Amino acid sequence: MTANAVAQRTDDIVDELATLEGPLLPILHAVQHAFGFVPQEALPRIAEKLNLSRAEVHGVMSFYHDFRTEPAGRHVVKLCRAEACQAQGADALAAHAKARLGVDFHETTASGAVTLEPVFCLGLCACGPAALVDGKVVGRVDAARLDQILSEMGA
């Protein structure tokens, strides 16, 4: 996608949502939905149109883990990092996932198949460790179940 196309689509999104109270988060979500990530060249456009500094927009974007600066893989696996899941083995599961995929959190496998991300509570505390796999919540995930999920994804 060209820089002009990114600028035009970003401008359209900001113009549509700028009248909301506290429009920055909805705008960032809409931009990510439109492109699959938030392109760096969109940030100054958003800042200018909302009369914010680039640092403010970047600070908000980088604070929230859901925003990406690069396109995600074909599949997204989010592992719960909250305390209840940690008490049920989430740290070992995360280490297994990183080793199996050869990536760290916020990274995508070389094949582009899977992006691994942390998430802080999926509300499945009694069934931890929990994961969000392509938007579907999965409970009681252990290494074997994760391997099965990843194999089905072609990873």
Q: What percent of the chain has a predicted confidence (pLDDT) above 90?
A: 94
pLDDT at 100: 97
pLDDT tens string 110-122: 999 999 999 999 9
Residue 109: count other Cβ atoms within 10 Å of its Cβ. Answer: 20
Could you tell me where the beta strands, DSSP code E, fall in the chain? 75-80, 107-108, 114-119, 131-133, 136-138
Instruction: Give every residue of the chain whose pLDDT is below 70, as ranges.
Output: none
pLDDT tens string 50-76: 999 999 999 999 998 889 999 999 999
pLDDT at 66: 84
pLDDT at 77: 97
Domain boundaries, the chain: 3-63, 75-152
CATH architecture for the domain at 75-152: 3-Layer(aba) Sandwich (3.40)
Entry field: residues in the chain: 155
pLDDT at 22: 95
